Amino acid sequence: MKHLLKMLDLSTEEIIEILNLADQLKYELKHNIPHPRLKGKSLGMIFQKSSTRTRVSFETGMYQLGGYPLFLSSHDLQIGRGEPVQDTARVLSRYLDGIMIRTFEQKEVEDLAEFGSIPVINGLTDFCHPCQVLADLMTIREFKGQFDGLKMCFIGDGNNMANSLIVGGLKVGMKVSAACPEGYHPDKSVLDFADKYDCFELTDSPVKAAEGADVIFTDVWASMGQEGEAEERRIAFKGYQVNDEIMAAANSEAMVQHCLPAHREEEITEKVFEAHAKEIFEEAENRLHAQKAVMVKVMGNG
Ligand code: CP
Ligand code: NVA
């Protein structure tokens, strides 16, 4: 595995290998076992959008692995003044051992990988959020023990999270349902992939999607960069809220996952959020372990 650009690129075996390594690294950290697997390596972290979890977990994770993280805000980089990504890629490849990038267009991430000569990790684009979904799968396996026979349900915007969850969930063998309003469906490439699976369902009924689900996911109605559409989205997504009615339709032992930040009383009620805070914050913690596994896989020496 050379890069982590999107879930569509990963095989089931690669996903399971990352999750196994993530479990191992979590164990080592919890037991104070040093694990400097990236000693002397440096990771550049380019951010064109805000972040709490991604920035802090990558930065701390790189430190725990014995490496050196550099936070590179696009406000300070020449990329923010129009230097082409192709040139940035070729320059940074001469200084660093890996790049993590959070940006708008997926093409920018793919170009960075194509024109550079070092591993690239996608820390979120408008299209996908693979690091988050690897942490989510890790959390599901941690709480449920396995993926076989489980049903994952996503309710809300067919955004970067929906795109990645559908692909990730199907690849590890889960049934997947998504409830999204007309006009806010997941990306066509994701639906083309998912259509090959009998166990995938896209509906406009949140209750139908939640029926018998073991894991309920949701995400904000307006993602970063869509703040100007917040009002029209509040109207479009009315009824696409994870609340008591949704939880009643799901399996009685169902988990709730949210990538955070959460907007209480919009996509999820305060009550459901707090009732499932244990697994939601474990999910946030698992960003650290899953991303360390990804960094070791793409930047380690085998
Ligand atoms: N879930 C997530 O990626 O959080 P941040 O935007 O805080 O990094
Ligand atoms: N869909 C959200 C995810 C944030 C982690 C966004 O892109 O803003």
Q: Is 289 in the active site? A: no
> Can you tell me the distance from the alpha carbon of 277 to that of 30, in angstroms, rounded to the nearest whole number?
21
pLDDT of residue 254: 98
Percent of the chain with pLDDT strictly greater than 90? 98
pLDDT of residue 161: 98
- What's the CA gap between 185 and 209, in Å, rounded? 14
Nearest CA to ligand 1 atom 7: 52
Could you say which of 37, 53, 55, 102 is catalytic?
102
The interaxial angle of helices 12-30 and 277-299, nearest 10 deg, is 110
Q: Which of 258, 287, 291 to mutate to test the pocket of ligand 1 (most atoms within 8 A of CB)?
A: 287
- Closest ligand 1 atom to the C-alpha of 123? 3
Residue 302 has pLDDT above 80, yes or no: no
pLDDT of residue 91: 98
Nearest CA to ligand 1 atom 6: 51
Residue 301 has what pLDDT?
Answer: 83
The protein residue whose alpha carbon is closest to atom 1 in ligand 2 is 223
- Only one residue has tokens 């000693």, namely 39
Span 74-83, mean pLDDT?
92
- Is pLDDT of 284 > 80? yes
% pLDDT > 70, the chain: 100
Asked whether the predicted pLDDT for residue 75 surpasses 70, the reply is yes
Average pLDDT over residues 255-282: 98
Task: Give phi and psi for 257, each to the nearest 5.
Answer: -130, 145
Mean pLDDT score of the chain: 98
CA of 51 to the centre of ligand 1 (A): 5
Is 66 in contact with 39 (CB distance < 8 Å)?
yes
- Pick the atom of ligand 1 nearest to 50's CA: 6
Strands (E), the chain: 42-47, 68-73, 98-102, 120-122, 151-155, 175-179, 200-203, 215-218, 255-258
Mean pLDDT across the stretch 35-51?
A: 98
**Region 180-192: what's the mean pLDDT?**
98
Instruction: For residue 287, indicate whether it is catalytic.
Output: yes
pLDDT digits (tens, 9 = 90+) for 145-173: 999 999 999 999 999 999 999 999 999 99
pLDDT at 88 over 80: yes
